[in-house]
Amino acid sequence: MGASRVEVERIFALQSEYKWTAKVSSAGERKEHLRRLRSELLSRSADIEAAVIADLPQPPTPEQPREVMWSCGAIDQTLENLDDWVRPERWEPSPWLPGTQPSVEYEARGVCLVFGPWNVPFHLAIEPTVAAVAAGNTVMVKPNSLTPATAQLVCEVVREVFDERLVAAFDGGDDVAHVLLDQPVDHIFFTGSPAVGKLVMTAAARHLATLTLELGGKCPAVIDGTHDLADTARLVGGGRHVNGGQICFAVDHVWVQRDVCEAFLSQYNSWIEATLVVDGAMNPAAATPIIDQRNVERVMGLIEDARSRGARVVRGGRLVAGQPRLIEPTIILDAPLDSKVMTEEIFGPVLPIQTYDDPRDLLLRMRAAPKPLALYVFSDDEDFVAMMLAGTSSGGVTVNGFGTHVSEPKVGFGGVNNSGSGRYHGVWGFREFSNPRAVFVRGEGDLIEAFAPPYGATAEAVVGAAFGQAGA
């Protein structure tokens, strides 16, 4: 049973009062909160891994549990850099404002509401919370109810580490989410689908809350054949099948130059055989199942819609025997551009492959689609890469790789329009949860009078200089 309206409103009232205390906390105090969080994550890493696998079984990894490792990495980078991030940015004054001191100070936004997704259920509830705490906010965290074991662990960790006035976690389903959205919070951070993102944006508009939307979209890979096709197939395969294809920046579909389509298809099939198949059958231990039966039916519906409309399903297209939530690696050729598999985000182990002849025609087709979270360009031709970058728009781009732009915190991660708004990771997350407040300290001279009536020659000169015009 989830939190009641009374409980949500009680916590919101506490945090609304405490946010003024959190705002003036020092970098050292904020880092101490994050150190305690890091210690708790490490002490409970086995529990966290077990909860994530119970909700969404994944192939084993030799390193530390992934979601704990990623969360600790975000904390470590914040601990290392927070002293620098919180310092005001001071600027030299403009020539017409001598003796003054303009600066930008990053102040906390206030009460922040963080919604975690189900596909990376622990880390993507924790990392935004780390950024929000680092920026001096209070935080209300809502983990995803589709991953109940992980949601419970998120709540337990938060309650163990933080005073509820600073950070509180709420278990429960959509009813709890709606109650949280009813609160006039200062900022909302949502990770999920574009469809639900629109509902969150509508709720934010009721209170004019600022908003970060980390959504998804149909992230294309473009292949011109000049980059090694075996390497391309390996990276596309990893980018399509990571987490069973249930990642917002996964490779959603491929555009390949027609003359190299068969060669790419051969290499991609070889990668599947070497990576996901054992003794001629799908290896369940090498794959991640679909999150629930509703989404199994949705993905299978995409395949059947494409097949019924004349597309060729050249591999897969079936459930794995004895594994009701595991879909075979599926390849679909020449699906109509208005079919569901080409217009809806797939979030499954299905790769539609389309061919093109003229890159200029390809750009027109790509521009007709909503802007994706990521674009992947596989090419050793610098002119082709430049054409793709100039002729498209996306949240981020990786050239000859998969997801590398996501793993580099210095450049920030986020979408554009349909795929989201705002950026986070590293300093970008700190700033996303901050208001860049302009602070101007007046120096000698009564500058205010220069802009007040009567508008004489001196005022005109000042105004002209400010806008790059010749003064009177």
Length, in residues, of the chain: 472
Distance CA 81, CA 208 (A): 31
Tokens 């569901």 sit at which residue? 340
CB 72 within 8 A of CB 192: no
Per DSSP, 248 falls in state T
Of 58, 15, 14, 64, the residue nearest 43 (C-alpha) = 64
Distance CA 374, CA 418 (A): 12
CB 198 within 8 A of CB 183: no
Instruction: Name the active-site residue from 72, 219, 248, 261.
Output: 248
Phi-psi region of 285 (alpha: psi -120 to 50; beta: other; left: phi over 0): alpha
Kindly give the interhelix angle for 5-23 and 174-182, rounded to the nearest 10 degrees. Answer: 50
Instruction: Name the active-site residue from 214, 328, 345, 432.
Output: 214
CA dihedral sign, ordered 138, 142, 147, 148: positive
**Type and span of the H or E element at 254:** strand 253-257
Distance CA 420, CA 415 (A): 4
Distance CA 294, CA 301 (A): 11
Strand partners, 214: 191, 420
Distance CA 177, CA 171 (A): 9
CB 141 within 8 A of CB 116: yes
Distance CA 209, CA 189 (A): 10
Kindly give the interhelix angle for 123-134 and 148-161, rounded to the nearest 10 degrees. Answer: 30
Q: Is 219 a catalytic residue?
A: no
Pairing of the two strands 323-327 and 319-320: antiparallel
Q: Which residues of 110-144 are buried (b: 16+ CB within 10 A; e: fewer)?
A: bbbbbbbbbbbbbbbbbbbbbbbbbbbbbbbbbbb
Q: Is 214 a catalytic residue?
A: yes
Structure-token pair, residue 342: 């080409």
Per DSSP, 171 falls in state -
Per DSSP, 291 falls in state S
Residue 336, preceding bond cis, omega within 30 degrees? no
Residues involved in catalysis: 214, 248
